[in-house]
Amino acid sequence: MSDQTANSNKKQKQRDPDLAAAEIAMKRAAERARERAKRIGAGVMVLKDDRIVEEK
């Protein structure tokens, strides 16, 4: 394997720090939404097994 190919593979495997931070923020927001819904007795709509369902 050439050095150029090895460097190319490393770049593909590295995650963009902004995208990693965005994923963390989205998970945190989803958890807060579930907590708020639980407090008021509502459900949260989620995609599960290619179907939109209410999660309570």
pLDDT recorded at residue 56: 84
pLDDT recorded at residue 12: 61
| Residue type (1 letter), 19 | L
Report the predicted TM-score, pTM, of the whole model to 2 decimal places.
0.60
Strand partners of residue 55: 44
1-56 pLDDT, tens digit each: 555 555 555 666 687 888 889 999 999 999 999 999 999 999 999 999 999 999 98
In the chain, where are the structural domains located? 17-55
DSSP code string of 1-56: --HHHHHHHHHHHSPPHHHHHHHHHHHHHHHHHHHHHHHHT--EEEEETTEEEEE-
